[in-house]
C-alpha cells in the first residue's frame, strides 16, 4: 500500500494560485487494501470545494516512472486525484489577470486531490510505475472551446521537475508548446445581456461600458423560444446571463393581442434561460416587478411574501420569477415604478408642465420610483460581491409617495406650480378608458433591508429625480 497517509481528515488548503485548492482526503486501509471517497459532493462543498457540477470522469494510466504530460489549460474546471501511484503536479495560471504566470507544485498520492479552476494550466510527472491519474471535469471536450498551452521547459515558470525532461517520457506535441511570452491567456467567462435594447439594457451598457467580456443581444439576435437554444452558444463559456428583456405594456397584456407576447417574454423566456443556466453553471440575473403582489399589504413587501398578481402582466412576471428560481445560481431583482430612457411618467409630466396642461394623476397608489441606472448599479454590485442567491428588492430610498406626489414634484422642479396637478383615484382615472385596463396594486412599497444588508446603499429618490430631470 506504499506510503499513503491513512491518518488524514478532509481538509482544504489554498495555494499561491487563486482558486487552486489542495484537499487532503481520508483514506481507510487494512490488510486487504484501502478505500476512499474520491469525490463526495456534500462533504467536499462543505469543506470549500466549489459545487462545480462535473459531467465526465477521465482516467490516464501511466506504465513508467517519468511519464510527463502538460501544460494544458482548458475552459473548464477539474478535480484531479490519483487512484494509485504518485505524481509530481505542476500548475501554472494561464488566465487573463494579475496572477497570469503564477506557479504551484505539489506531490499527489491517493490521499491528496486538487481543484483546478478553469484556465489554470495542468501538468504532471509520474513518480511511481503503474500510476493511475484521474480527473473529473464539468464540461465535455469541444473543438470550439478555447484552449491554451505552455511549454514544460518554460524558463519563466522554471518548474523544477524531479526527473529531467531530457530523461522523461514526453510527447512531441507537449514539447512544442509555446513559452509564456507567447501564450494566449484564457479569457474570463463572459456575461450575456439579453434585451439590451430597452431602458434597462441602455443603463446596463453605461454601467458595464468598456468591459470586453460583456456581450449584448436584442430580440433580433437571440430567440429564447427556439428549440435549439441549448446549442445556440457554447454556454459553458458564460458565467452570467442578465435578463433585461420584459413585456411592460400592462394594459395591452389584458387584450388577446397582448396576452401571448406578455407570457412569451415574461415567463417562457426566463424559463428557457433558467434551464440553460442550471445546465451550465451560469448565474442568472432577472428583473421582476411589484405587480407580482396584489397590493393589499399594510406594510412594505418582503422578498419572502407570497405572490398574488392581479392581472395578466403580473401573472406572467410571477411565472417568470418562479421559473428563474429553479436555477441554482440566480438573482431576482424586484423593482417598482421604473424610470429610464424613452417615454415614461416623469418625462410625460415634465412635458405637460412645459405645455401648460394641468393633469389629473392617480393618488391612491403608493410606492417609490426605481431608476434604471440604479438597477444596473445594483446588478453590478451583486455580480461583484456575490451575496447569497435569491430575491432582492430594489427601489430608491426615501419617503413613500403617490404618482400625484411625483407629478407635483416634477412640476415644482421645473419651476411650475405643483397645485396644477389634481389627484384622483385609480377608478376615477380609468373610468373613461376605451379598452381593457390592468388592475394595479395600490401598495407597491418594497422593503429594502436585504439589499442594504448585501452592502448596497440605495440612493434617495428625490436626489435621483433631480439628476434625471437635469439630464
C-alpha cell at 316: 406572467
3 state SS of 320? helix
CA gyration radius, the chain: 28
Please give the Cα distance from 413 to 408 (Å, whole number).
9
* pLDDT tens figures, 243-295: 999 999 999 999 999 999 999 999 999 999 999 999 999 999 999 999 999 99
Query: What pairs with residue 193 in β-bridges?
Result: 216, 242
Please report the domains of the chain, with CATH numbers, ordered by start residue.
11-182 (2.60.120.10), 190-470 (3.40.50.720)
The two most distant CA atoms of the chain are separated, in Å, by 95
Residue 347 CB neighbour total at 10 angstroms: 15
C-alpha cell at 309: 398578481
3 state SS of 449? helix
Question: What is the full DSSP assignment across 336-405?
Answer: -SEE-SSS-HHHHHHHHHHTT---EEE-S-EE--EEHHHHHHHHHHHHHH---SEEEE---BS--EEHHH
Active site residue 381: no
Of 124, 133, 135, 429, the catalytic one is 135
Secondary element (H or E) of residue 450: helix 449-453
**pLDDT, position 2:** 54
Cis bond before residue 299 (omega within 30° of 0)? no
C-alpha cell at 47: 469543506
Contacts of 110 (CB under 8 A, 6+ apart): 4, 25, 27, 34, 36, 81, 82, 83, 84
Secondary element (H or E) of residue 193: strand 190-194
Contact 366, 444 (CB under 8 A): yes
Active site residue 147: no
**pLDDT, position 1:** 45
Return the sign of the alpha-carbon dihedral for residues 217, 231, 115, 157.
Answer: negative
Contact 132, 58 (CB under 8 A): no
Please give the Cα distance from 301 to 393 (Å, whole number).
9
Per run of 10 residues, the mean pLDDT along the chain (length 471 residues) is 77 96 93 91 93 93 95 95 96 96 96 96 96 94 88 96 96 96 94 94 94 90 86 92 95 96 95 95 97 97 97 97 97 97 94 97 97 98 97 97 98 97 96 91 98 98 96 85
Please give the Cα distance from 411 to 234 (Å, whole number).
51
Alpha-carbon distance values, 373 to 203, 205, 244 (Å): 5, 10, 13
Please give the Cα distance from 408 to 416 (Å, whole number).
9
Residue 49 CB neighbour total at 10 angstroms: 19
Contact 59, 134 (CB under 8 A): yes
Contact 303, 311 (CB under 8 A): no
Output phi, psi for 424, to 5 deg.
-140, 160
Record the pTM: 0.89
Amino acid at each position: 500500500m506504499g506510503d499513503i497517509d491513512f491518518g488524514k481528515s478532509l481538509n482544504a488548503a489554498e495555494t499561491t494560485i487563486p482558486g487552486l485548492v489542495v484537499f487532503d482526503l481520508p483514506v481507510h486501509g487494512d490488510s486487504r487494501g484501502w478505500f476512499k471517497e474520491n469525490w463526495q459532493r456534500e462533504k467536499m462543498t462543505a469543506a470549500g470545494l466549489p459545487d462545480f457540477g462535473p459531467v465526465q470522469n477521465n482516467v490516464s494510466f501511466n506504465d513508467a516512472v517519468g511519464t510527463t504530460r502538460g501544460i494544458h489549460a482548458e475552459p473548464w474546471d477539474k478535480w484531479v486525484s490519483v487512484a494509485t501511484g504518485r505524481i509530481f503536479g505542476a500548475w501554472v495560471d494561464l488566465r487573463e489577470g494579475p496572477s497570469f504566470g503564477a506557479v504551484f507544485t505539489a506531490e499527489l498520492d491517493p490521499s491528496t486531490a486538487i481543484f483546478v479552476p478553469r484556465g489554470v494550466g495542468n501538468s504532471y510527472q509520474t513518480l511511481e510505475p503503474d500510476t493511475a491519474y484521474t480527473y473529473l471535469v464539468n464540461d465535455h471536450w469541444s473543438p470550439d472551446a478555447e484552449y491554451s498551452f505552455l511549454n514544460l521547459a518554460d524558463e519563466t515558470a522554471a518548474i523544477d521537475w524531479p526527473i529531467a525532461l531530457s530523461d522523461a517520457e514526453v510527447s512531441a506535441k507537449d514539447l512544442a508548446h509555446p513559452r509564456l511570452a507567447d501564450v494566449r491567456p484564457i479569457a474570463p467567462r463572459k456575461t450575456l445581456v439579453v434585451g439590451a435594447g430597452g431602458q434597462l439594457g441602455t443603463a446596463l451598457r453605461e454601467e458595464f461600458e468598456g468591459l470586453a467580456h460583456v456581450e449584448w443581444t436584442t430580440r433580433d439576435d437571440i430567440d429564447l423560444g427556439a428549440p435549439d437554444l441549448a446549442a445556440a452558444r457554447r454556454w459553458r463559456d458564460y458565467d452570467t446571463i442578465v435578463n433585461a428583456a420584459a413585456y411592460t405594456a400592462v394594459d395591452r397584456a389584458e387584450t388577446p393581442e397582448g396576452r401571448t407576447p406578455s407570457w412569451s417574454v415574461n415567463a417562457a423566456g426566463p424559463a428557457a434561460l433558467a434551464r440553460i443556466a442550471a445546465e451550465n453553471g451560469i448565474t442568472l440575473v432577472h428583473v421582476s416587478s411589484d405587480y407580482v403582489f396584489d397590493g393589499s399589504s399594510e406594510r412594505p413587501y418582503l422578498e419572502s411574501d407570497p405572490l398574488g398578481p392581479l392581472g395578466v402582466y403580473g401573472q406572467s412576471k410571477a411565472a417568470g420569477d418562479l421559473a428563474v428560481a429553479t436555477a441554482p445560481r440566480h438573482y431576482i431583482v424586484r423593482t417598482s415604478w421604473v424610470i429610464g430612457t424613452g417615454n415614461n411618467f416623469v418625462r410625460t409630466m415634465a412635458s405637460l408642465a412645459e405645455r401648460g396642461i394641468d393633469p389629473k394623476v392617480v393618488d391612491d397608489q403608493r410606492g417609490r420610483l426605481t431608476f434604471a441606472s440604479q438597477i444596473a448599479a445594483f446588478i453590478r454590485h451583486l455580480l461583484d460581491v456575490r451575496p447569497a442567491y435569491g430575491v432582492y428588492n430594489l427601489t430608491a430610498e426615501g419617503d413613500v409617495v403617490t404618482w400625484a406626489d411625483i407629478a407635483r414634484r416634477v412640476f415644482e422642479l421645473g419651476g411650475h406650480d405643483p397645485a396644477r396637478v389634481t389627484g384622483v383615484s385609480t377608478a376615477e382615472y380609468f373610468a373613461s378608458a376605451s379598452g381593457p385596463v390592468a388592475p394595479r396594486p395600490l401598495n407597491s412599497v418594497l422593503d429594502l433591508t436585504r439589499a442594504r444588508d448585501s452592502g448596497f446603499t440605495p440612493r434617495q429618490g428625490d436626489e435621483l429625480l433631480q439628476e434625471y430631470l437635469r439630464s
